[in-house]
Amino acid sequence: MKKIIFSWLLLIVIAGSAQHLDVYPTHWWVQMKWNKVQLLVHEADPKYILAVEKLTARCSSPDIKIKDIHKVENRRYLLFDIEIAPNAKPQVATISFGGIVPKEQRSFRFELKARRPGNGTAFANGATAADLIYLIMPDRFSNGDPTNDRVAGMRDQSLNRDSVFERHGGDLKGIQNHLDYLKDLGVTAVWLNPVIENDMPDRTEHGYAFTDHYKIDPRIGGATAYKDLINALHAKGMKMIQDAVYNHTGLEHILFRDQPDSTWFHRWPAFTQTNYKDQAVFDPYGSKIDKKIMQDGWFVTTMPDWNQQNPFVQNFLIQHALWCVEEFGIDGWRIDTYAYNDLGFMNRCNHALYDEYPKISIFGETWVHGVPNQSYFCQNNYSIPFKSNLQATTDFQTLFYGIIPAVSEPFGWTEGVNKLYTTLAQDFVYKDPTREVIFLDNHDLPRFYSVVNEDTAKYKLAFAWLLTGRGIPQMYYGSEVLMAGTTWPNDGHVRKDFPGGWEGDKENKFLAAGRTEKENAVFNYIRTLANFRKRSSALTKGRLMQFAPYDGVYVYFRYDDQQTIMCAMNTNKKPFTIALDRFRERLQKFSSGTDVVSGSGIPLKDSLTLNPMSNQILELK
């Protein structure tokens, strides 16, 4: 008996003196539908190996069963398939494993937590057409905590607001400090560029090259600041959209620097960049090599491309997505570079999220050209072999082939605002076009104020469409105060700091007193429309009816049983009077309307005169 006790004490001493084990996911929850979890265990110290001969394992809790252990080529990794009992209670269990000699014995603690209350109400509530999403790049919005501007030990130690490439110090606390500003503006949901740790040597302000999936970047405040921000958003009735990057990771990610084996990332004899040809994915005449380069090629040399056909990679990425929702209480996902992922894997990942969080929303970035191209990647009405279960996409088509030509091209049979009409007429291909996320610009595109050459009439017309069109509107930070910039000579110029977000800024555009007369005029215009939209059943839940444009004038209605909104878009440079007879299908019950922006009453008799380059929005009476 003494010999047995001594052996166990020796095992504990050896296990305690061994190097730290990294375990992913770091913990899990009881009563999850995803109760068969795959734990990835890693020992970074090359002096130690985990995949010893005659490997056995046991768990201290009967609520956790070890179903299988997987060895991979790199012997510093093991993968444990565990099953959590349906009636398991919150607890901390110990999983011990090793060979037959004491020096091979290792162990780690694994916690099961109680689930977050309020699935579908307090969190995972999803963004809908009733929301206005505000996109923020955390590093460039506001610096609420200067102590995290630089973090010792991280590769990028830059802090230079004079450079569009280096870090500026914005953080999650800075965003939290301005939630009242956003709520007053009419914002109901916040989408942040990635918050996951991005410990790369340079260009880390955007966050799209993860280096540790289970850490929130400490330079924006870490996990505590992220939870505080989300809790503050929810307390104000607002939502959080997290940016997911499944396609690739950063070159400094531990799973790339110390790879489990050669099958976790796509490999080529020489560096091969994606061809960006989304057509190759669905082209009935396409070649296999074009499709392979499209989906398996790397974005850039510093972003290794995950092999999502590897089942271990699939589990790692899916479990991280579930973990983030439960750990932080986010409400929805925006998925980066959606078309470049393995689409079968994406269906499985999306399904896991829908299954666990029925009200969550997911939309994917599909920077493609053509409604058929875009709709292929989300839920659609096509009878084709591959059927995507993605709810919606970022609607580049209504941007590139809709609102931009509407305000920038002369009117013609297929030109100008006719392109917006034609693009929307193709909505029959989508299962639910009201989930499409419509926008004017983002962190990769020229700011729309620059697209219209700083013409505020065109700018307001476009925002009127954004806030009355079908779908979920998304605006980019600073658009409301006329922030400008183009992607030439580089995209850093569309990612400038919000004026007033840093102590000592000469201008503070969070305050009306800090904005120019022109800026306040646009700010108040957007604010008025956005807040009206929140109260409007027709704009947030209603249907769309559009009439074919004539002479540069495009008329559409948003309506339900309680409310009808008439939107008359004049894309001409001069006033235009339209006869109302053609719109009697929707106007027959109404004799007047109220201009939503000015509050003025407008009689609806035989005609309506529209201001140049404007979108008059009338609530019909």
| Residues found in the chain | 621
Which of 166, 199, 212, 336 is catalytic? The answer is 336
**In 206-310, which ranges are continuous DSSP H helix?**
222-235, 254-257, 279-282, 288-296
Using an 8 Å Cβ cutoff, are 472 and 438 in contact? yes
Residue with tokens 């540069």: 552
For residue 503, the 8-state DSSP code is T
* Phi, psi angles (nearest 5°) of residue 563: -155, 145
* Phi, psi angles (nearest 5°) of residue 191: -115, 125
Using an 8 Å Cβ cutoff, are 198 and 148 in contact? no
What DSSP string describes 397-415? Answer: HHIIIIIHHHHHS---SSS
> What is the H or E stretch that residue 353 is in?
helix 343-356
> What is the H or E stretch that residue 421 is in?
helix 417-425
CA distances from 312 to 351, 360, 615 (A): 17, 25, 52
Using an 8 Å Cβ cutoff, are 131 and 47 in contact? no
Name the nearest CA neighbour of 78 among 278, 309, 261, 290.
261
Answer yes or no: 145 catalytic: no
Which of 171, 217, 327, 365 is catalytic? The answer is 365
* Phi, psi angles (nearest 5°) of residue 362: -140, 125
CA distances from 207 to 87, 196, 217, 229, 539 (A): 39, 7, 9, 18, 34
Answer yes or no: 336 catalytic: yes
> Reduced to 3 DSSP states, what percent helix, strand and coil does the chain have, rounded to the nearest 5?
30, 25, 45
Using an 8 Å Cβ cutoff, are 483 and 500 in contact? no
Q: Which residues, 6+ apart, have CB-to-CB distance to 381 below 8 Å?
A: 428, 429, 430, 431
Q: What is the CA radius of gyration of the chain?
A: 27
Residues labelled catalytic? 336, 365
